[in-house]
Structure 1
Amino acid sequence: MNRDAVTVLLPAYNEAETVGDVVRDFREHGFSNVLVADGDSTDRTRKLAEEAGARVVIQRGTGKGQAIREAVRDHVDTEYVLMADADGTYRAKDADAMLEPLFEGRAEHVVGDRFADMHEDAMTGFNRIGNRTFNWLFGFIHREDFGDILSGYRAFTRDSFRRLTLSADGFGIETELSVECARHGVRTAVVPITYLPRPNGSNTNLHPVKDGGIILMAIYRQAKTSNPLFYFGSAGVLSGLFGIIIAGYVAYEWFIYGVSHEVLAVVSGVSLIFGVQLLIFGVLSDLIVTLHRETLDRIEANDSGRNHDSVPERETSREDEPRRPEAK
């Protein structure tokens, strides 16, 4: 494994308690090219990272997602990228296992599965439930099982990263990476890793409720191109249920008390019609997406078959022709 072909990317913001140890850990495991993308920290993160031997750049924008995009685009010149957090929760000892599928050509993107070996205090019960829910929802919508879509320990080729359309600025970047890999057919492998608790004195930048909402919206928003039936159908079901509830209330008030609610009746009817329209639109969109995928598969199969059959035949030269016996 050529570690010189790997850039270890560590996005960081106010990680003075851990960044130095994380950088040294990777360097001790043979990774000389360690890049810290600092989000303009107000503590000693940059100084400690440089003292530990890292190359430090200050991102122009804000947020983890923006730091990763900017670092890979402007500051990475190696073929492979190993991305981890600077909070000491990931081990450099797992780096070889993460990079192995890339070097062997089995994958272009690797996700480290934290649930394979998660220490008891590494994640709160609330966060565990949220992570499990998001993983199930991702698998249901995008029909892929990446084990741990919110994992911050990843390895990927720089070329595959450039094929992805990424826009998330904060912690939604991991979800967006997973969704984009599924949408663009990037060969993805899942590798079991160890997930450690944060060291004492290290504070998390994650806000479970706020960032959980961002992650949920990222999963749902991207469903419109990979599973439009769910994207439009779920909205249609909600609209229909709202209409049914309002219709039930209007009927109850009319039959029991003789009170008419004309406006609410109109709202109920509109909601029901809108819900049915969304469901129909979801079915049609899903059909179009399915036909599009089948067409692309046929084109790729025909192209591969054509390339296999179009082996150039060797031209026959005069030297290859059988010689006639000379007349005596």
Structure 2
Amino acid sequence: MPPFDDVTVLVPTYNEAETIGQVVADFREAGFDDVLVVDGGSDDDSPEIADSEGARVVIQSGSGKGQAVREGIREYVDREHVLMLDGDATYSVDDAEAMLEPLRAGDAEHVIGNRFADLREGAMTRFNQFGNRLINRGFAFVHGRSYDDILSGYRAFTRESFLRMTLSADGFGIETEMAVECAKRGIDTAVVPITYHPRPSGSDTNLRPIRDGGIIFLELYRRAKTNNPLFYFGSLGVLSTVSGLVIAAYVGIEWITRGISHEVMAVVSGFGIIVGVQLLMFGVLADLVLSLHRDTLQKIDEETGPE
């Protein structure tokens, strides 16, 4: 087993008293000497239990998983590699070496653990499985990359690559943001198969599928503005144009068949069509600018890279 003195294990927690002790103990026994638990102000004994098992425990200044991850890495991590996972005992320390291997081999800067490679019975409801796969397909369509499981909480990455990301999500949207930033900034990303276990009995999830799923979808769409502007502005343009055409058809039919004129609706129809066409044009131009920007950055990298 290789030494892990270049790795900080980051575990954001909130009310994980039933599981956090075992998680910390497993990684400490496996040779990880720096386990950082960032607690979000738990109402139970999560911080005390983690501390008793040998973890460094800090209480985050804000709230939410995303804020905990950003604060933990920027203020309390100084090692080259970060291994991030949830404190609910659904991820296994047995997969840790496989997660870190692409980083150490120089094949990737960011590694995502694919839970669907070995999804144990009861680990995820059918509804959540459907939602996860839908989000992954949406991500691949919008951002042009397939990472298999962008919502996975088991990640390994270099601290330097994390600091290059622009992240703002405070909650569970942090994984989505990280995946988008990897695609946007060309961060070499590897996907590693892992085992995903069901939560132990007595441990309650902090995830709310409907609410958090909606937040993730909105985050995917919002981030498309700078990574795929043609899709972002084009979809709005198509929606506005089609709405205007539908209203125009209704106004025309009413005028022809019943002799009733709808002046206000006609104005709204014209406005919708004009705005929609302008958004489509803006999307095309923005996509062109983005392509030129990426080409310029690639040329700069080639000119300034190692000879």
Contact 2:3/2:31 (8 A) holds in 1: no
Give the 5 Å matches for 1:128-277: 128-277=129-278
Distance 1:280 1:269 in 2: 17
> Which secondary structure state, in structure 2, belongs to the residue aligned with residue 259 of structure 1?
coil
Letter in 2 for 1:269: G
Distance 1:147 1:41 in 2: 32
Contact 2:7/2:80 (8 A) holds in 1: yes
Distance 1:200 1:254 in 2: 66
Q: Tell me what 1:29 maps to.
A: 30
Letter in 2 for 1:205: N
Deviation per CA, 1:38-86: give whole Å up to 9, x if none: 0000011111111222111100000000000000011112111100000
TM-score, structure 2 normalization:
0.96
Q: Tell me what 2:106 maps to.
A: 105
Contact 2:234/2:283 (8 A) holds in 1: yes
> Which secondary structure state, in structure 2, belongs to the residue aligned with residue 146 of structure 1?
coil
Q: CA RMSD in A?
A: 1.3
Deviation at 1:287, TM superposition (A): 1.0
Distance 2:54 2:304 in 1: 48
> Which secondary structure state, in structure 1, belongs to the residue aligned with residue 261 of structure 2?
coil
Deviation at 1:301, TM superposition (A): 2.6
> Which secondary structure state, in structure 2, belongs to the residue aligned with residue 8 of structure 1?
strand
Distance 1:252 1:88 in 2: 62
Percent of counterpart pairs with the same letter?
Answer: 62
Q: Tell me what 1:40 maps to.
A: 41
> Which secondary structure state, in structure 2, belongs to the residue aligned with residue 3 of structure 1?
coil
Contact 2:84/2:153 (8 A) holds in 1: yes
Q: Tell me what 1:321 maps to.
A: none
Distance 1:300 1:165 in 2: 20
Contact 2:102/2:190 (8 A) holds in 1: yes
Distance 1:45 1:6 in 2: 22
Gaps of 5+ in 2: none
Distance 1:263 1:210 in 2: 37
Distance 2:126 2:276 in 1: 36
> Which secondary structure state, in structure 2, belongs to the residue aligned with residue 70 of structure 1?
helix
Letter in 2 for 1:266: V
Distance 2:221 2:94 in 1: 35
Deviation per CA, 1:79-100: give whole Å up to 9, x if none: 1110000011100110000001
Distance 2:141 2:50 in 1: 40
Distance 2:297 2:271 in 1: 39
Aligned length: 306
Give the 5 Å matches for 1:282-301: 282-301=283-302
Q: Tell me what 1:66 maps to.
A: 67
Distance 1:224 1:39 in 2: 31
Deviation per CA, 1:206-242: give whole Å up to 9, x if none: 1111111111111111112211100100110111121
> Which secondary structure state, in structure 2, belongs to the residue aligned with residue 222 of structure 1?
helix
> Which secondary structure state, in structure 2, belongs to the residue aligned with residue 232 of structure 1?
helix
Letter in 2 for 1:171: F
Distance 1:145 1:66 in 2: 26
Distance 1:300 1:54 in 2: 40
Letter in 1 for 2:230: L
Deviation at 1:302, TM superposition (A): 3.4
Letter in 2 for 1:201: G
Distance 2:203 2:164 in 1: 35
Q: Tell me what 1:320 maps to.
A: none
Larger CA deviation: 257-266 vs 101-110: 257-266
Distance 1:128 1:97 in 2: 24
Distance 1:252 1:125 in 2: 46
Distance 1:89 1:261 in 2: 60
Distance 1:18 1:108 in 2: 29
Q: Tell me what 1:95 maps to.
A: 96
Structure 1 segments, 4+ long, off by >4 Å, are none
> Which secondary structure state, in structure 2, belongs to the residue aligned with residue 4 of structure 1?
coil
Letter in 2 for 1:276: V
Distance 1:258 1:18 in 2: 72
Letter in 2 for 1:204: T
Distance 2:249 2:21 in 1: 63
Letter in 1 for 2:175: E
Q: Tell me what 2:123 maps to.
A: 122
Letter in 2 for 1:83: M
TM-score, structure 1 normalization:
0.90
> Which secondary structure state, in structure 1, belongs to the residue aligned with residue 288 of structure 2?
helix
Rg larger in structure: 1
Letter in 2 for 1:212: G
> Which secondary structure state, in structure 2, belongs to the residue aligned with residue 178 of structure 1?
helix
Distance 2:119 2:242 in 1: 40
